[in-house]
C-alpha cells in the first residue's frame, strides 16, 4: 500500500507540481509528455482506489466476520467502523475516477475538472488506506 501511495504522490507532483491549467489539458493531444504524466496520475489514482475499495476493504470486513456485500454496503460499513469519513464522498470520487478514464479524449473540461477533484481528494484515499492498515494490524496482533 505504501508503494502505491508513494507512486501516486510522485505522479501527482509531476502533473500538479506547477499549476495544471485547462489550456494544458485542452492541448494534451499535442503534448505527449504531459499526456503521459496525466495518464500515470489517473492510472495510479484509480489503482489505489480499486485496491482500497475492491480488495482491501472486503478482505478486512470478511476477517471481521462480515458477509460479502456490494461495494456501497461495504463503504457504509467502513463509515460505521470509522475507517471512512463518508461513503457518499467515496462514491463521488469513484465517479470522478470514471470521468478521468472515459472522458479522457471526449471532453477537456470534464477531464480537467475530474483531475483537479481527484488531486484534491488524494488525502481521502490516504486516510482511508491508513485506517484500513491500522485495523489490519489490530487484527493480526
Domain boundaries, the chain: 2-140
Q: What is the dihedral of CA 65, 131, 97, 12, to 10 degrees?
A: -150
Grid look-up 488531486 returns 119
Cell (9 digits) for 24:
494544458
Nearest Cα neighbor of 54 from 44, 68, 65 is 68
Task: Tell me the pLDDT band of 79, cut-offs 50, 70 and 90.
Answer: very high
For the chain, the average pLDDT equals 92
Higher pLDDT, 106 or 105: 106
Identify the pLDDT of residue 130.
95
Rounded CA separation 86/75 (Å)? 8
Task: Tell me the pLDDT band of 5, cut-offs 50, 70 and 90.
Answer: very high
Grid look-up 492498515 returns 133
Task: Tell me the pLDDT band of 103, cut-offs 50, 70 and 90.
Answer: low
Amino acid at each position: 500500500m505504501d508503494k502505491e501511495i508513494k507512486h501516486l504522490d510522485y505522479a501527482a507532483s509531476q502533473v500538479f507540481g506547477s499549476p495544471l491549467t485547462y489550456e494544458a489539458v485542452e492541448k494534451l493531444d499535442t503534448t505527449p509528455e504531459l499526456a503521459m504524466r496525466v495518464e500515470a496520475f489517473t492510472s495510479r489514482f484509480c489503482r489505489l482506489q480499486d485496491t482500497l475499495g475492491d480488495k482491501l476493504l472486503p478482505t478486512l470486513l470478511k476477517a471481521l466476520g462480515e458477509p460479502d456485500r456490494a461495494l456501497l454496503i461495504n463503504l457504509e460499513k467502513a463509515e460505521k467502523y470509522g475507517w471512512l469519513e463518508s461513503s457518499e464522498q467515496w462514491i463521488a470520487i469513484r465517479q470522478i475516477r470514471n470521468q478521468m478514464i472515459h472522458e479522457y479524449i471526449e471532453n477537456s473540461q470534464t477531464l480537467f475538472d475530474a483531475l483537479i477533484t481527484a488531486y484534491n481528494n488524494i488525502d481521502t484515499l490516504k486516510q482511508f488506506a491508513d485506517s484500513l492498515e491500522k485495523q489490519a494490524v489490530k487484527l493480526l496482533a
